[in-house]
Amino acid sequence: MLFDTHTHFDDEKFNEDRYEMINKAHESGVDLILNAAADIESSRAGVLLGNEFDFIYSSVGFHPEVAKDVTEEMFQEIKLLAQNPKVVAIGEAGLDYHYDDSPKEIQKEIFRRQVALSRSLNLPIIVHDRDAHEDTLEILKDENAKECSGVLHCFSGSVEMAKIVLNMGFYISVGGVVTFKNAKKMVEVVKYVPLDMLLLETDAPYLTPEPYRGKRNYSGYVGLVGEKVAELKGLSYDEVAMKTFENGKKLFKI
Taking residues 164-174, report their average pLDDT.
98
What is the rounded distance in angstroms from the CA atom of residue 165 to the CA atom of residue 113? 19
114, 93 contact by CB (below 8 A): yes
- CA atoms within 13 Å, Cβ hemisphere of 254: 24
Q: What is the pLDDT of residue 147?
A: 96
Q: Which residues contact 179 (CB under 8 A, 6 or more apart)?
A: 209, 210, 213, 224, 225, 228
- pLDDT in the model for residue 114: 98
- Rounded CA separation 245/227 (Å): 14
Residue 22 — very low, low, confident or very high, per pLDDT cuts 50/70/90?
Answer: very high
Helix runs in the chain, H state only = 18-27, 40-52, 72-81, 104-121, 133-142, 159-167, 184-192, 222-233, 237-251
Mean pLDDT of 158-162: 97
Domain range holding 182?
2-251
For the chain, the helix, strand and coil percentages under 3-state DSSP, each to the nearest 5: 50, 15, 30
DSSP letter assigned to residue 193: S
Other C-beta atoms within 10 Å of 78: how many? 24
Q: What is the pLDDT of residues 26-82, one digit of tens each?
A: 999 999 999 999 999 999 999 999 999 999 999 999 999 999 999 999 999 999 999
Average pLDDT, the chain: 97
Tell me, yes or no, if the pTM score tops 0.95.
yes
How confident is residue 99, by pLDDT bands cut at 50, 70 and 90? confident
Strands 170-174 and 87-96: unpaired
Provide the percentage of residues in the chain whose pLDDT is more than 90.
Answer: 98
Task: Check which CATH number belongs to the domain holding 167 and give it.
Answer: 3.20.20.140
AA identity, residue 226: G
What pLDDT band is residue 101 in, cutting at 50, 70 and 90?
A: confident
Which pLDDT band, with edges at 50, 70 and 90, does 100 fall under?
confident
- Please report which helix (H) or strand (E) contains residue 151, including its range: strand 150-152
Helix (H, G, I), strand (E, B) or coil at 199: strand
- What is the count of structural domains for the chain? 1
CA–centroid distance for 15 within its chain: 21
Write down the pLDDT at residue 164.
Answer: 97
